């Protein structure tokens, strides 16, 4: 198990937040509105998360659909670097890459 250290704080890899290695099969950031969101809904989701400085949890990991909640890869790639929380996590060891479940590939 790898560890990350910053200024005396040591975190094991298992404590780092997870992000999928690739977008899930129905990612809202893929072209084509695969989740059939109402017009403006994705913009609203993004605007609220960015305004709050929070990362977006992938919809495939909510409501006990997966063993853990994982950051949405599409949001992570497009908006993550601009958020303080992303930058802090990177300084504390970064994000743990998580494989997509087979049914989401």
| Domain chopping of the chain, boundaries | 25-95
pLDDT for position 40:
93
Judge whether 100 and 21 are in contact, CB under 8 Å.
yes
In whole angstroms, how large is the CA radius of gyration of the chain?
15
| pLDDT single digits (tens) 24-68 | 988 999 998 878 889 999 999 999 999 999 999 998 887 676 667
């Amino acid at each position: 198990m790898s560890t990350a250290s910053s200024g005396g704080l040591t975190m094991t890899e298992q404590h780092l937040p997870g992000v999928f290695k690739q977008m899930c099969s129905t990612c809202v950031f893929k072209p084509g509105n695969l989740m059939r969101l109402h017009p403006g809904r994705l913009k609203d989701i993004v605007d609220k998360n960015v305004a709050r400085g929070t990362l977006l949890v992938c919809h495939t990991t909510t409501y006990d659909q997966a063993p853990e909640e994982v950051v949405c890869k599409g949001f992570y790639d497009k908006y993550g670097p601009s958020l303080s929380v992303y930058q802090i996590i990177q300084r504390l060891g970064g994000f743990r890459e998580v494989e997509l479940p087979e049914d989401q590939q």
